Amino acid sequence: MSHVYTYGDIRERRRLIVAALNALQRKKQLEKELDKWTNTKNTIEAQVFTLENANINLETMKAMQSGATAMKGIHGSLYVQLLSPELTFIQITRESGYDYG
């Protein structure tokens, strides 16, 4: 049994094929756009991570500066000249091989 296509049937099939091709083209465009947005999102996430690390580093430096200031306050009156005789004694004792333990 053979089917005879009318002009209207052929036009309808052509319209459907064109619509399908247009849908495939639109799908490809949307996939490219999705890839772009995904890459943008990944870039922003990496930048946020970098900024968070920089903030952690800044807070660490502030804590270290605060600690250094506190240490200077604690040991502010301690001078190397005052320790010189003790340091010399320790150095001579080490050189002579004396065991403290």
CA atoms of 47 and 40, how far apart (whole Å): 11
* More confidently predicted of 60 and 81: 60
Tell me, what's the pLDDT at 1? 54
User: How many CA within 13 A on the CB side of residue 33?
Assistant: 6
Dist CA 88 CA 80 (whole Å): 11
The structure's pTM equals 0.52
Q: Tens digits of per-residue pLDDT, 41-70?
A: 999 999 999 999 999 999 999 999 998 888
